[in-house]
Structures are given as structure tokens and as C-alpha cells.
């Protein structure tokens, strides 16, 4: 019997692979002693990531495998030599700069397809089952030469479905078996029967092995088509919002170049990778592929390839260059930390301030910025929408006819707004009258706007648009000071309206801030929140009041009732951790003092992880992005936006002396202009739907932003001496800071 030495990857004869022997790791270069020099080599520019962009890499085709490596700095700095000076029989394409370092990746050309870019005559793609290499040459002629060389190398080392050698020759000897049977005294007829049985079994085994090898070869030959299937599935999986975000310049059925094996569009390369969280960064890594032994059947492998397109979320790592440019234009990367402070902050004792100002008019006392965080109350309103994806899920549940899960997600959203208040020792800046704040977060699918609409009483109104829903409301806090603590009772209604007409309304619960003078400042929320809807379901959430003896504080318990008053679901959790729910279960079966997993509860919402770079303000990762001001954004903002407030900006930059001076100036200005509200001042973007009703957004802000025409928006943060004299109805004034 002739023994075949098979390559462990795909049952190929070892002589047909560039490096014979055992399978190697993809990051290891071929053995130096293999004796096979690269047939084609040269420098190509490879797309690495958004930060580094295109980087030169040394590419070499050797034995049906394309290897690439980084270029040594001393080589890259050397003067280039023309391709005509190639030595050793190596064909160089373009301008050669010398060999690269140790290869960092290998691409088997047999399992690859190639596609030219329609928008750039120097760019082309190499598509494999696991990745897409985006490459660029120095000129259009070099691109055509490279693709021709790749196609040629692939065809030369292609598998035609026939195994090397004569498949019908399967000779083996039964001489030893015959001699052994003669020794045992077995007759000649029986010996012949044994030989026929062995030959028949071996023939069947040989047929099975041949079929399996042909199946593997057929699978490997179809891998370029599997790549096409993955790309086509990926292009249909994203939701409507994702499709609008990742639109291609050309149709997905567009014809590719004559060298391409795929019918996908020009900008190919979406691949199956891990899901992207709200806090992930965007990178395009140098792709590295590792080859391992096939331990599954080709059918399983095909199933795995096709399933790679069924993920709900696609990371921007899989974007092509054109899509990455579009994404970065509409999705600026948010910052992950605050600027380093310029000055060293000095601690201030609130108790010493109270003693120093005994007998003075406290309305004229300016508290130092030490007690503030670099956010305004308008920005805090938007911070409560950090988990807006819960409303997206609620909208989707309603579209599927699941009204119960819709109100459960709405209840989770109402609780999640309190998660950011945990361990926040500093207070936000009180906005000036007429101050505004906008937040355009296309990556979350929301657009938010808020304005301070009244000074006495202090009222802030907001409006937010999401994926299939709108959210609006106003807030008026009534405070009671008890010496060591302060109690804040919100007065206002929050309204959520879905595009299908279903609405929900609720009011916020009471907040108590403790240890204002002595001890560690902390807050807790308590009271009852009733979420009422205009259809079948309503929800009642109870925020448990904290006590000294309570070992498990911050509890939230909720019940969902239908129109008949019957309980259909139970919610439980903590407002600073997570929420769970149980449908159609008795609340007595739930464990309100421990883990909810044992009670069969399902996780509904969980608080995000804290930032990697914490601050003394304990801002969340989302809150760190709220006051970010880029030059491009500054040109679009009205002069009333909170990001332009000087004392808040100085505090964020760590310029505490300037921040205190600006804070005092703005307070002085608001005292001089306080009477303007009594003279008929009205908000610019909101109006009340009734005398005691909710402030509603009247529209026009985003249109004015697009046109950069801010009529009626005055510079409320500037100096009074430099501001034009306006009639009482047109001047924006400020509130107490």
C-alpha cells in the first residue's frame, strides 16, 4: 500500500505547500531553508487603523501564499531603487525599498478573491473567509500588475480536485497473512476468502478517503464564494438605522473587476467580529490569520462561515476605508477623560464659609467652584438619557405587538436615569436664564435639546428625539434645607411618545442629599413613581427610603398591572446597579435582599462600568463627553450653549482662579438683569401648552443650527458693557449660579 503524506490543513500532499511538514503558526515565516524564493515582491500600502491610516508593508508571493511584513526603518529611509534592479529572479512591482522584517501575516491565495476599487484606481482588496486586506499601490499600472500576479499565483497553486498520483493504484501484499494462516493449518480456499475480504474492505476505505479528500478540496475551492455569501448577509443584517449609516456609494449588486471572484460591491470587507459596546474604541488592526487543523467536516465549516453574518451588531473594525471616512465624519470619537488640571486645587470647607458669612445676605454670597462639577443642570438632564437604548428596545417590542415588554423597558429607563447620581459629591452649575444645551449623538440615534425657561421658579425644559420615539418634559425643584441634609422634591411631568401613538407619563421621586456639612456626602432617592400609559398597561415603582439599619439600600420594587388591575409582571433591583423582571410571577417568590438569578428573574438593565480614568467628580464615561468642545462644534453652537460658559470651562481645564472670577462676574450680571424676566421675557425655543402645563419644544433649533442664524440668541456669557442694549423682551438674563 502506498502511503500518502498529507498536509494537516486540507489533506494536500505536503509537497504542494510552500513549507512542508507540520502546520505552522501564521505569524511564523516560512523556513529559510525551503529553497523557494518569492516569485513576486514589492511594497504596498495597507490600511491599518484610523489613527495611522495607510502604512507601507513588504508583500511577497511565495508558493501560492501572500506574506506581508513591516518595513525596517533603515530600509524605508534608504533611497528607493527601480524595479529593474531586481536580483535573484525575483520580480519586483513598483519602487522597491528592500526586504521587510519578519512576516506578520500570511494570506492563502487559493482561499482568496480580489476586487478593484471603483472610486480609486490605485486601491484593491484581497478578500478571505476571515478578513479583508485593503491595499493601495503607487499607480494604477502597478495595481493591474499586482492583481495579475495574484491571479496567476492562485491558478498555479489551485487544486483541480484530483489527488496527486494514480488514485487507482492501491497495491499491497498479503504474503505475511498467507504464511501465518499456513502455519495455523488453514486451507487454501479459506486463505483466498480472507484475501478477498481484506481487499474488499480496503477498497471501500480507499473510496471513502478519496470522497472525503475531494469534499475538502471542493470546500476550499468554494471559499471565495463563501466570502461573497458572508458579505451579502452582512449587508442585510443591520437594522434600518445601521443601513442608513453604512450606505454604500454603489449598489451591492454592482459588477466588480474582471479579476474578481465575487459579485459584491466595491467597498467590500464586512466581517463577523465581536459585538461593540457603548464604550468601545474604533481600531483597524493589522489582520493576522492563523491556520489550524480541520477537525470538523466541510459542511460544519460552511455553516460556520455563513453564520458569521448573523450578528446583530457590527464593529467599525469591519468597515472599509470609504465607510470609515463617512463614519468618522458623522461620528466624532468622544473623549474618554477630562483635560489635565492646570492648577492645583485648594480644598474649601463649607462650614468655614458659613461661619465667615454669618449675618450677610446669602443671596449675594458666591460659592467657590470647588463645590461644582464641570457640568450644568441642562447637561445633567441629558445624562439621564445615557441608557436610551432601553427606549429603542421598547419601541421594537411595541412593533412586535408586545406591549408588556414595552412598558417594562420604559420602567427600566425611568430607573436608569438615577444611576449617574451615585457618588457625585459636587453640584452642577445652575444655568443662566435662556441658557441652552444641545447633544447630537448619532451613534446612539438620539438628538437632545434643553433650555432654562424660567428663573422664578427655576424651570428647565428638554426635548429628545430617538429611534421611533420622542421624550420631553420640564423640571422644577422645590428644596427644603434641614441643616445636615437637603430634600429636593421635583415638580414636573416627563412624557414619552412612540411613533405608533402610545404614550407614557411619570414624575420623578424625591432626592435627599445627606452630610452636607460633616461626613461623606451621599444621596438617596425615595418615593413612588407611577408610570401611566394611554393603552393597556401601567407600572408602579417604589424607591425604598434608606435607613441606618438597612443593610441592602437603594432598592427599587415595581409592579406592572393591566387594564383590569391584575398584576402581570414584577420588577426588582437597585437604581445604582441593575434591574430584573419576572413575568406572571408572585412577588413573594422574589428575593429582594440578594441575587435575583435564583428567583428566575431576567436581567433587564445593568449600569455601565466606570471610566478607566476616574476624576474627583466621579463622572461616568458618558458624562465625560457631555462638555467636550471641538473647534468644528464651536462654529455650529449658539452663543447660549452651556459649553461656552466660561466659569464651567475654566473649571474643567483646572483654572480655578479664573473659574471663581468668572462665576462671580456672571452672578453679578444676573443680579443686574433679574428684573428683565418680570418685564415679559420669554424662552426662545419652548412655550407652555397651558398656564400650568408642560413646556413644549416649538421647533426650529436644528434648522437654525444648519443655517447658522441665531436670531434672538444673545451672548448671555459676555460682559454687560460689551452687550448691546436690548428691549426688556429680548434680553436673556441669568439665574443664581
What tens digit of pLDDT does each residue of 360-393 get? 555 566 778 888 999 999 999 999 999 999 999 9
CB 652 within 8 A of CB 643: no
- On the question of pLDDT at 82 being above 80, the answer is no
Can you say how many angstroms the Cα of residue 384 is from the centroid of all Cα atoms in its chain? 19
For residue 84, name the pLDDT band (cuts at 50, 70, 90).
very low
pLDDT, position 358: 60
For residue 93, list its beta bridge partners.
42
Q: In this predicted structure, which of 13-22, 103-112, 644-653 has the lowest mean pLDDT?
A: 13-22
CB 648 within 8 A of CB 378: no
CA separation for the pair 563, 567 (Å, rounded) = 10
- On the question of pLDDT at 698 being above 70, the answer is yes
- On the question of pLDDT at 56 being above 70, the answer is yes
Strands of 29-147, DSSP E: 40-49, 53-62, 65-70, 91-93, 105-108, 113-116, 123-127, 132-136
CB 26 within 8 A of CB 286: no
Q: Residue 622: phi, psi to the nearest 5?
A: -70, -40
Average pLDDT over residues 175-185: 85
CB 679 within 8 A of CB 728: yes
**pTM exceeding 0.85:** no
Helices 188-221/223-234 angle, 10° precision = 40
Taking residue 20's Cβ as centre, other Cβ atoms within 10 Å add up to: 13
pLDDT by residue (tens digit) across 705-730? 999 999 988 888 987 654 444 444 34
For residue 86, name the pLDDT band (cuts at 50, 70, 90).
very low
Helices 298-307/223-234 angle, 10° precision = 30
Q: In this predicted structure, which of 75-89, 371-385, 526-540, 621-635 has the lowest mean pLDDT?
A: 75-89
- Reported as half-sphere exposure (CB side, CA atoms, 13 A), residue 59 has a value of 28
For residue 1, name the pLDDT band (cuts at 50, 70, 90).
very low
pLDDT, position 9: 30
- On the question of pLDDT at 83 being above 80, the answer is no
pLDDT by residue (tens digit) across 19-43? 333 333 343 344 443 444 457 889 9
pLDDT, position 305: 37
Assess whether the previous peptide bond of 457 is cis (omega < 30° from 0). Answer: yes
CA separation for the pair 518, 364 (Å, rounded) = 24
CA separation for the pair 349, 262 (Å, rounded) = 70
Domains and CATH numbers, the chain: 38-72+88-154 (2.30.29.30), 389-582+599-705 (2.40.160.120)
| Nine cell digits for residue 350 | 463649607
CB 371 within 8 A of CB 453: no
pLDDT, position 221: 58
| Nine cell digits for residue 583 | 413575568
CB 324 within 8 A of CB 50: yes
pLDDT by residue (tens digit) across 271-327? 333 332 333 333 333 333 333 333 334 444 343 333 333 333 333 334 444 544 554
| Nine cell digits for residue 24 | 505552522
pLDDT, position 484: 77
For residue 648, name the pLDDT band (cuts at 50, 70, 90).
very high
Secondary structure of residue 57 in the 3-state scheme: strand
pLDDT, position 367: 79
CA separation for the pair 136, 115 (Å, rounded) = 12
Average pLDDT over residues 425-436: 90
pLDDT, position 97: 52
Percent of the chain residues topping a pLDDT of 70: 66
CA separation for the pair 223, 295 (Å, rounded) = 17
**229 dihedral zone (left: phi>0; alpha: psi -120 to 50; beta):** alpha
- On the question of pLDDT at 410 being above 90, the answer is yes
Query: DSSP letters of 184-215?
Result: TT--HHHHHHHHHHHHHHHHHHHHHHHHHHHH
pLDDT, position 363: 54
CA separation for the pair 703, 176 (Å, rounded) = 94
pLDDT, position 182: 85
- On the question of pLDDT at 600 being above 70, the answer is yes
CB 71 within 8 A of CB 56: yes
CA separation for the pair 265, 253 (Å, rounded) = 6
- On the question of pLDDT at 595 being above 90, the answer is no
Closest to 604 in 3D by CA, of 574, 580, 587: 580
The CA–CA distances, whole Å, from 127 to 61, 113, 176, 399, 607 equal 16, 5, 53, 38, 39
Burial, 412: exposed, middle or buried (Cβ in 10 Å; 0-12, 13-18, 19+)? Answer: buried
For residue 77, name the pLDDT band (cuts at 50, 70, 90).
very low
More confident residue, 85 or 644: 644
pLDDT, position 478: 84
Please give the mean pLDDT across all residues of the chain: 74
Query: DSSP letters of 427-452?
Result: EEEPPPTT-EEEEEETTTTEEEEEEE
Q: Residue 175: phi, psi to the nearest 5?
A: -65, -45
Percent of the chain residues topping a pLDDT of 90: 34
pLDDT, position 596: 57
pLDDT by residue (tens digit) across 443-501? 999 999 999 998 878 899 999 999 999 999 998 888 887 777 888 999 889 999 999 99
3-state helix, strand, coil in the chain (%, to 5): 30, 20, 50
For residue 183, name the pLDDT band (cuts at 50, 70, 90).
confident
pLDDT, position 217: 65
pLDDT by residue (tens digit) across 544-574? 988 777 778 889 999 999 999 999 999 999 9
pLDDT, position 607: 94
pLDDT by residue (tens digit) across 112-171? 888 998 888 899 999 987 888 899 998 989 999 999 999 888 887 654 444 444 444 556
The CA–CA distances, whole Å, from 450 to 167, 382, 499, 667, 734 equal 78, 8, 21, 21, 15
Amino acid at each position: 500500500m502506498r502511503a500518502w503524506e498529507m498536509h494537516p490543513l486540507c489533506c494536500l500532499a505536503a509537497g504542494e505547500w510552500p513549507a512542508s511538514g507540520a502546520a505552522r503558526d501564521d505569524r511564523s515565516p516560512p523556513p529559510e531553508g525551503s529553497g523557494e524564493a518569492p516569485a513576486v515582491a514589492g511594497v504596498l500600502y495597507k490600511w491599518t487603523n484610523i489613527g495611522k491610516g495607510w502604512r507601507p508593508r513588504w508583500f511577497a508571493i511565495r508558493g501560492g501564499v501572500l506574506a506581508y511584513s513591516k518595513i525596517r526603518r533603515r530600509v524605508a529611509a534608504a533611497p528607493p531603487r527601480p524595479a529593474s534592479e531586481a536580483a535573484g529572479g525575483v520580480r519586483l512591482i513598483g519602487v522597491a525599498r528592500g526586504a521587510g522584517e519578519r512576516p506578520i501575516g500570511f494570506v492563502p491565495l487559493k482561499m482568496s478573491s480580489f476586487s478593484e476599487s471603483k472610486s480609486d484606481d490605485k486601491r484593491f482588496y484581497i478578500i478571505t473567509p476571515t478578513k479583508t486586506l485593503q491595499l493601495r499601490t503607487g499607480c494604477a499600472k502597478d495595481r493591474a500588475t499586482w492583481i495579475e500576479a495574484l491571479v496567476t499565483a492562485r491558478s498555479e497553486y489551485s487544486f483541480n480536485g484530483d489527488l496527486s498520483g494514480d488514485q487507482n493504484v492501491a497495491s499491497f501484499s498479503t504474503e505475511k497473512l498467507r504464511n501465518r494462516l499456513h502455519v495455523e493449518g488453514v486451507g487454501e480456499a479459506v486463505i483466498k476468502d480472507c484475501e478477498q475480504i481484506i481487499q474488499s474492505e480496503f477498497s471501500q476505505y480507499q473510496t471513502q478517503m478519496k470522497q472525503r479528500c475531494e469534499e475538502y478540496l471542493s470546500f476550499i475551492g468554494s471559499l471565495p464564494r463563501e466570502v461573497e455569501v458572508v458579505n451579502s448577509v452582512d449587508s442585510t443584517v443591520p437594522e434600518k438605522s445601521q443601513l442608513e449609516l453604512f450606505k454604500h456609494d454603489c449598489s451591492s449588486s454592482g459588477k466588480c473587476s474582471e479579476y474578481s471572484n465575487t459579485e459584491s460591491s466595491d467597498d467590500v470587507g464586512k466581517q463577523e467580529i465581536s459585538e461593540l459596546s457603548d464604550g468601545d474604541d474604533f481600531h483597524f488592526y493589522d489582520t493576522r490569520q492563523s491556520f489550524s487543523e480541520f477537525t470538523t467536516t466541510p459542511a460544519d465549516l460552511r455553516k460556520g462561515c455563513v453564520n458569521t453574518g448573523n450578528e446583530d451588531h457590527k464593529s467599525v473594525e469591519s468597515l472599509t476605508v470609504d465607510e470609515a471616512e463617512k463614519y468618522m465624519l458623522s461620528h466624532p470619537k468622544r473623549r474618554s477623560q477630562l483635560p489635565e488640571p492646570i492648577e492645583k486645587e485648594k480644598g474649601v470647607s463649607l462650614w468655614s464659609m458659613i461661619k465667615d458669612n454669618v449675618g450677610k445676605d446669602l443671596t449675594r454670597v458666591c460659592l467657590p467652584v470647588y463645590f461644582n462639577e464641570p457640568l450644568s443642570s441642562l447637561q445633567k438632564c441629558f445624562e439621564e438619557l445615557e441608557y436610551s437604548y432601553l427606549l429603542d428596545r421598547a419601541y421594537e417590542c411595541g412593533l412586535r405587538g408586545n406591549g408588556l415588554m414595552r412598558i417594562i423597558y420604559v420602567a427600566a429607563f425611568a430607573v436608569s436615569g438615577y444611576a449617574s447620581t451615585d457618588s457625585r459629591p459636587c453640584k452642577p452649575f445652575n444655568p443662566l436664564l435662556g441658557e441652552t444645551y444641545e447633544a447630537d449623538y448619532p451613534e446612539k440615534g438620539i438628538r437632545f435639546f434643553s433650555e432654562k425657561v424660567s428663573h422664578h421658579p427655576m424651570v428647565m425644559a428638554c426635548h429628545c428625539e430617538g429611534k421611533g420615539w420622542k421624550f420631553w418634559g420640564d423640571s422644577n425643584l422645590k428644596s427644603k434645607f434641614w441643616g445636615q441634609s437637603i430634600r429636593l422634591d421635583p415638580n414636573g411631568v416627563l412624557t414619552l411618545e412612540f411613533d405608533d401613538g402610545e404614550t407614557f407619563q411619570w414624575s420623578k421621586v424625591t432626592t435627599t442629599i445627606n452630610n452636607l456639612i460633616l461626613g461623606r456626602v451621599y444621596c438617596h432617592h425615595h418615593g413612588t413613581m407611577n408610570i401611566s400609559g394611554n393603552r393597556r398597561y401601567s407600572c408602579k415603582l417604589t424607591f425604598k427610603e434608606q435607613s441606618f439599619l438597612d443593610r441592602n439600600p437603594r432598592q427599587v420594587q415595581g409592579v406592572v398591572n393591566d387594564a383590569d388591575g391584575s398584576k402581570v409582571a414584577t420588577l426588582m433591583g437597585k437604581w445604582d446597579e441593575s434591574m430584573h423582571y419576572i413575568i406572571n410571577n408572585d412577588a413573594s417568590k422574589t428575593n429582594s435582599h440578594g441575587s435575583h438569578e435564583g428567583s428566575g428573574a431576567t436581567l433587564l438593565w445593568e449600569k455601565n462600568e466606570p471610566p478607566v480614568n476616574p476624576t474627583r467628580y466621579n463622572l461616568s464615561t458618558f458624562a465625560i463627553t457631555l462638555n467636550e468642545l471641538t473647534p468644528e462644534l464651536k462654529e455650529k453652537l449658539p452663543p447660549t450653549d452651556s459649553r461656552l460658559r466660561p466659569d464651567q470651562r475654566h473649571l474643567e481645564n483646572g483654572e480655578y482662579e479664573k473659574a471663581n472670577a468668572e462665576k462671580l462676574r456672571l452672578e453679578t450680571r444676573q443680579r443686574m438683569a433679574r428684573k428683565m424676566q418680570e418685564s415679559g421675557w420669554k424662552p426662545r425655543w419652548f412655550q407652555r401648552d397651558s398656564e400650568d402645563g408642560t413646556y413644549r419644544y416649538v421647533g426650529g433649533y436644528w434648522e437654525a443650527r444648519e443655517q447658522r442664524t441665531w436670531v434672538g440668541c444673545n451672548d448671555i456669557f459676555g460682559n454687560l458693557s460689551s452687550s448691546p442694549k436690548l428691549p426688556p423682551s429680548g434680553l436673556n438674563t441669568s439665574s443664581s449660579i
